[in-house]
Structure 1
Amino acid sequence: MAPVIHWNGRHQFPYGCLQLYFYGTFPFYLYAAAIANLPVKAIFATQNILRQYSLTSGRILHILSTRKSYNQSISKIIRIHGEKMLVLSIGKKRELMMFLRMLVMTVWVVGIVTILPSCGTSPGYNYTISGTVNGMIGSGLVLQNNGGDDRAITANGAFTFNTALNNGTAYSVTVKTQPTNPSQTCAVLNGSGSMNGSPVSNVVVSCVMNSNPVTVDTLGKYAYVSTINTSAIASYTIGASGALTGITGVTAGTRPNPVTIISIGDPATQYAYVSNMGNETTLGTISVYTIQSDGVLSPGTTVDVGRYPSAVTVDPAGKFAYVANMGSNSISAFKINQTTGALTDGTTANTENAPTSVTIDPLGKFAYAANMGSNSISVYTIDSTTGALSLSTVTPSVAAGTTPVSVTIYADSAKVAKFAYVANMGSGSISVYTIDSTTGALTPGAAVAAGTSPMSVTIDTTGQFAYASNMRSSNISVYTIDSTTGALTAGTAAPTGTTSPNPVKIISIGTPATQYAYVSSVVNSTTPGIIFVYLINSDGSLTNIQMEQPFLTGISLSTVTIDPIGPFAYVTNTSNGVVQAYQIGADGHLIAVP
């Protein structure tokens, strides 16, 4: 009987381990050389079949030889005793024999392939590293493992690194190149460890937008813009015409988010908070500043948070501050010192996978986190003394659509939260929930279709209409809100040309009031960014009344910021941080300020 060779390089795939045994009639040394070449091709030829038929542990596949070339594809699938069996053609080793400079001959080989749940822990076994990407809209994302094995990502969904690792080998998945057009930050979850007898398939890469808009202080006197590329905050005074004049700026942390401003006390003192996303090797932080009488930011004590925090959310009373840590699956909560503005008594609440934002209801009783990586919404109650978050005992988590990225709350005239709307970027839908005013619990209603990749929901000033910006379908979905049930009824979507729209911003002008909507474009592959101005009609539909191009260069714009005191509007060229100011006319049109 010919010697039995067990190929020690078993190959582990997410759906099982291929273990190969071969029998041969030729000399052992030649046989071993053949085995060194054969299994790899056999394995990769078998991948799709295994995935297609979901073969499980204990099923045995027979590889039967013929006189055909071993490179021939799988010949057929047959059933034996109710089990799916695989027939492969393996035969002439012409190329191998030529490589060995030996005579061409027909080699008869009979082997057995066993499907195991795992390749075990023996040295020499290798395993793949795989995961999923979600939230990516830009292009150019490149992942690495252990500083190499570059893996270019072209779309959301599953990915696998090309190089498998031996058991016991350390792995570290990082982002080599972040997406651009539009600019995004992607965080890696579950990205490091050591191979331990099975493939790694739980790496999650979640991406969020980098669009730092202008923030205007509560008095309408000063404006601030954080810049990711320079890790700095630019500061301006606002003139009577809305024009901005630069004043001394400050340094922030790495990859700063937009500025959040609150006013405390009487006479009021203003404070600014900026969360800094950090990078693959550092935790995020929150920079704290006091706004001096001349608008200059005076740095306070920086606090640590988790990895890749969202922008700071402050409760309506200005007592507590929160960030969602996308890279740590948590929310950091702090008390705001009412005398100094300092952040103290930090606590942490767990979320599900990749939380992208925290939303607080208007009365400051409940908090909601959109978990991009687990397609869910986490629900919390807020301790009125400490600000700490406790998962709801009624609905700690509710299902959303695919890749939820933001939560918007509808409240009545008494500021009681009634409904919640979630933009699901992956499934192109808006999830609808009713909110229990006592517990904050969410009860799902009927989700509605949006366009492709909705990023946010904006409710108009009357509470009658809702608008969703769809980045991949280049339009704005329009809905009428049922004030009793919260249900959304779709109207006619408003196009935004070939651009990808930012969130909708709305202002109400005059008596009786007329509403106008402003939407800037994130990316346009052929022309500079555009601001679309719409009249909101009595039925909620949008009529485009102006298309404004603020910059001759720069294809991506930040979300429009509206200063109702002016009224003024501001937009940033995200490529260089330059800000363009506008006056808002009585008819809603934008008038550029030199």
Structure 2
Amino acid sequence: MLIFVKKQINIVNILLSFFLILFTLRCAPSKLNGACDPESENFLFSALLEFGSSDGKFLCPLFSGNTPLRLDYGTDFLVFKQDEPIGNLKPFISEPIDHCESTPQLPSGVILNNNNCEISGTPSVGLNATKYLITAKNQNKQITTPLVIKSLFIPKFVFVANLGSGLINSFTIDANTGVLNASGAVAAGGGPESMALSPNQKFLTVANRNTNNINQFLINQTNGSLTLVETVLSGGNTPISVNYHPTKDLIYIRNTDNFSTFSVNPLTGNLVLINTIPMAYAAGESLVDHFGNFLYDPFYNGNLIESYQIDRITGLLSPNPIQVIPSDIRPKRMAFHANGKTLYVSHDTGSNISTYQIDSNTGLMSSVFPQTPSSGVVSGSIATDPLGRFMYKTNRDTNTVSMFATNAVTGELSPLPPNTIPTGTEPLGITVDPSGKFLYNTNIASGTVGIFSINQSNGSLTTNGTAPTSTSPAVIVTAGSNP
């Protein structure tokens, strides 16, 4: 028994000696020269903190020559208002620089300070979302930061497609009140289902569901009246959606049996069919992302959303989807958040709104938020404001518009209080003007356009009357202008 106890004591002494040696080594003077000493066990942790920080303060002097140059505007997406001065936007730069430049050059009226990358000025033109590469450099280092900039157009025209009559109504917008004044009507084909504006706001393209053709109209930049350029076959059967490429002279038509791609003459607006891809299932309203890299298509009968690659050189669609993701029942209408990183989907027979995060490099979608409930069961359409603050949805069975705030970074939806405002009978189409000041909706059973002012602080809507249309107004778009 005594021998056993002695053995235990010896084992304990050996263990104590081992831990004492380890503790002595850990506290050796050569390792206590501070967190900036490469011999210190905390040196690696200091390096990780330094390279992960963004305040430009060096924890250790020796890091000052090794850390990468940093350039940060606090966001990767800026929205300016045409003819309104920009408050000086001075970025964080981790150390002095010698030169700053942008590729391409910033929009007309917007100034980049070549010494400190500060952005200022007064935008003189409207501009769709465009990616700029801001490069800062000094003798030893260089950093390039992508920055998306949008300059809002001045609101000018509203166009309404009427399913019953096949007419397209034109209106001018009072830029101060949002009130509409009729400026004429022209005949389209049968059952105009979708409309799209060219990026330069010169042409209006109408897809006619019942007559399998496309109308191309030239927009009078003074009064918004429309002149027919030509009518062409849609390249398939039952065209239900039309989208412009944001930077190339191309449009994509979603027929029920295929995608057809047309080239657009930028001077005359004339269309030429250049490609078709078979697609044999019922779809809703397809949508092209802000930069023309991906197209998203709701599989109406399959309760799915598909994404397709757009060739960055030719602009042609890939024949196979890069992703298919589940959605709620009968997805039909879609809208992007202003930053292009969030996609909202409404459903034809459900009140929920689906929110998908978009990887702008791969086009892949991910669903990170639960379905957002909305008033009504029979959804109409959805629209977002161009500054990325609010989202709105028409509800056909409750004769209301639902109102939501959107998170500027994640796009997450939050119902506004109150969540709805009354409209005319059976609201269907919806749009926000290019300045983000006014909202318009079509009331298909009332034969009117609802006019609303948007509270710029909280997104709530205030009604400002209606304007009469032709029979069964369904689709509505707003156009802006440049001086």
For 1:372 and 1:404, locate their aligned partners in 2 and report how far apart those are by CA, in whole Å.
5
Give distance in 2, aligned partners of 1:309 and 1:447.
Answer: 29
CA distance in 1, matches of 2:288, 2:316: 13
Kept in 2, the 8 Å contact 1:229–1:255? The answer is yes
1:560 is displaced (CA, Å) by 5.9
Residue type of the alignment partner of 1:276: N
Please, which of 356, 362, 380 is the counterpart of residue 439 of structure 1? 362
Q: How do 1:491-502 and structure 2 match up within 5 A?
A: 491-492=416-417, 493-496=419-422, 499-502=425-428
State the shift of 1:341 in Å. 3.3
Aligned partner letter, 2:251: A
* Structure 1 gaps, min length 5: 1-217, 567-594
Code of the residue aligned with 1:254 in structure 2: it is G
**1:275 and 1:386, CA in 2 relative to 1: closer, same or farther beyond 3 A?**
same
Aligned to 1:533: 452
From 488, 508, 526, the counterpart of 2:413: 488
Which of 444, 449, 453 is the matching residue for 1:522?
Answer: 444
Q: Which amino acid aligns with 2:191?
A: R
Q: Is the 8 A contact 1:309 1:325 kept in 2?
A: yes
Normalized against structure 2, the TM-score is what?
0.56
CA deviations 1:293-337 (Å, max 9, x no partner) are 9966354462342221124211112411111113x2x22222224
Q: Residue 472 of structure 1 is aligned with which of 380, 397, 400? A: 397
* Partners of 2:408 and 2:438 in 1: CA distance: 21
- Of 276, 281, 304, which residue of structure 2 is paired with 1:376? 304
In structure 1, the residue matched to 2:137 is none
Partner residue in 1 for 2:372: 448
Q: CA deviation digits over 1:114-150, x for unaligned, max 9? A: xxxxxxxxxxxxxxxxxxxxxxxxxxxxxxxxxxxxx
Structure 1 CA distance for aligned equivalents of residues 338 and 319 of structure 2: 21
Report if aligned partners of 1:352, 1:376 keep a CA contact under 8 Å in 2. Answer: no
Kindly provide the amino acid, as one letter, of the partner of residue 452 in structure 2.
V
The one-letter amino acid of 2:325's match is V
Deviations 1:382-436 (A, max 9, x none): 12333321156641x2111111111211242xxxx21111001223211111111
Residue in structure 1 matching 2:205, options 273, 279, 288: 273
Higher RCO (Cα < 8 Å, 6 or more apart): 2
CA deviation map 1:495-518 (0-9, x unaligned): 316733234433587xxxx94434
Q: Summarize the Cα distance change of 1:453–1:531 in structure 2 as closer, same or farther, 3 Å threshold.
A: same
* 1:310 maps to amino acid: I
Alignment correspondent of 1:402 = 329
Aligned residues of 2:163 and 2:191 also touching (Cα < 8 A):
yes
The one-letter code sitting in structure 1 at the alignment partner of 2:235 is V
Matched, 1:430 2:353: yes
8 Å CA contact 2:394–2:400 kept in 1: the answer is yes
CA contact (8 A) 2:303 2:331 kept: yes
CA-CA distance at 1:219 after TM superposition? 10
Tell me if structure 1 keeps the 8 A contact 2:160–2:476.
no
Inter-partner Cα distance in structure 1 for 2:407 and 2:156: 38
* Amino acid in the other structure paired with 2:198: I
User: Distance in 1 between the 2:386 and 2:273 partners?
Assistant: 36
- Give 1:343's aligned amino acid: L
Letter in 2 for 1:277: R
Return the alpha-carbon distance in structure 2 between the equivalents of residues 224 and 465 of structure 1: 22
**TM, length-normalised to structure 1:** 0.46
Residue aligning to 1:314: 244
Pairwise CA distance, 1:338:
4.1
Q: 1:431 to 1:232 in 2, by over 3 A?
A: closer
Partners in 2 of 1:442 and 1:306 — Cα distance? Answer: 28
Would the aligned equivalents of 1:406 and 1:456 in 2 still touch at CA under 8 Å?
yes
Selected match of 1:459 from 384, 402, 406: 384
Q: CA deviation at 1:466?
A: 1.7
For residues 220-299 of structure 1, the aligned pairs below 5 Å read 228-229=163-164, 231=166, 243-244=181-182, 246=184, 252-257=188-193, 260-262=196-198, 270-278=202-210, 284-288=212-216, 297-299=227-229
1:205-220 to 2 correspondences below 5 Å: none
Q: Distance in 1 between matches of 2:363 and 2:410?
A: 16
Deviations 1:356-376 (A, max 9, x none): 222111111111112222111
1:437–1:286 distance in 2 versus 1, CA, 3 Å: same
The DSSP-based 3-state class of the residue aligned with 2:284 is: strand
CA distance in 2, matches of 1:562, 1:490: 25
In structure 2, how many angstroms separate the alpha carbons of the residues matched to 1:343 and 1:467?
33
CA distance in 1, matches of 2:318, 2:300: 20
Q: 1:324 is aligned with what amino acid? A: R
**Which whole-Å deviations, capped at 9, do the CAs of 1:50-96 have from their partners, x for residues lacking one?**
xxxxxxxxxxxxxxxxxxxxxxxxxxxxxxxxxxxxxxxxxxxxxxx
Partner SS for 1:456 = strand
Cα drift, residue 442 of structure 1: 0.8
2:253 is equivalent to residue 323 of structure 1: yes
| 8 Å CA contact retained: 2:241, 2:255 | no
Kept in 2, the 8 Å contact 1:237–1:246? The answer is: no
- What is the Cα deviation at residue 482 of structure 1? 2.6
Taking a change above 3 Å as real, the CA distance of residues 236 and 381 of structure 1, as seen in their structure-2 partners, is same
Matches of 1:261 and 1:484 in 2, distance apart?
27
2:421 maps to amino acid: P
**Pairing 1:79-158 to 2, within 5 Å after superposition:** none
CA contact (8 A) 1:313 1:359 kept: yes
| Conserved? CA contact 1:361–1:409, under 8 Å | yes
Cα distance, 1:549 vs structure 2: 4.6
Q: Give the Cα separation in 2 of the matches to 1:433 and 1:506.
A: 21
Distance 1:274 1:478 in 2: 28
Alignment CA distance shift 1:229-1:454 (3 Å): closer
Mapped partners of 2:319, 2:251: distance in 1:
17
* SS of the residue 1:428 aligns to: strand
CA contact (8 A) 2:161 2:473 kept: no
Instruction: Give the counterpart letter for 1:366 in structure 2.
Output: F
CA distance in 1, matches of 2:308, 2:361: 12
Give deviations 1:508-540, integer Å, cap 9, x for gaps. 87xxxx94434443335xxx7572535436333
Hey, what's the Cα distance between the residues in 1 that align with 2:243 and 2:265?
16
Q: Give the whole-Å Cα distance in 2 for the aligned partners of 1:543 and 1:225.
A: 21
Q: What is the CA–CA distance in structure 1 between the aligned matches of 2:433 and 2:169, rounded to whole Å?
A: 26
Amino acid at match of 1:544: T
Q: Hey, what's the Cα distance between the residues in 2 that align with 1:381 and 1:353? A: 19
Counterpart CA distance in 2 for 1:366 and 1:310 is: 19
Q: Kindly indicate whether the alpha-carbon contact (under 8 Å) linking 1:377 and 1:398 is maintained by their aligned counterparts in 2.
A: yes
Code of the aligned partner of 1:389: L
**Separation (CA, whole Å) in 2 of partners of 1:549 and 1:219:** 21
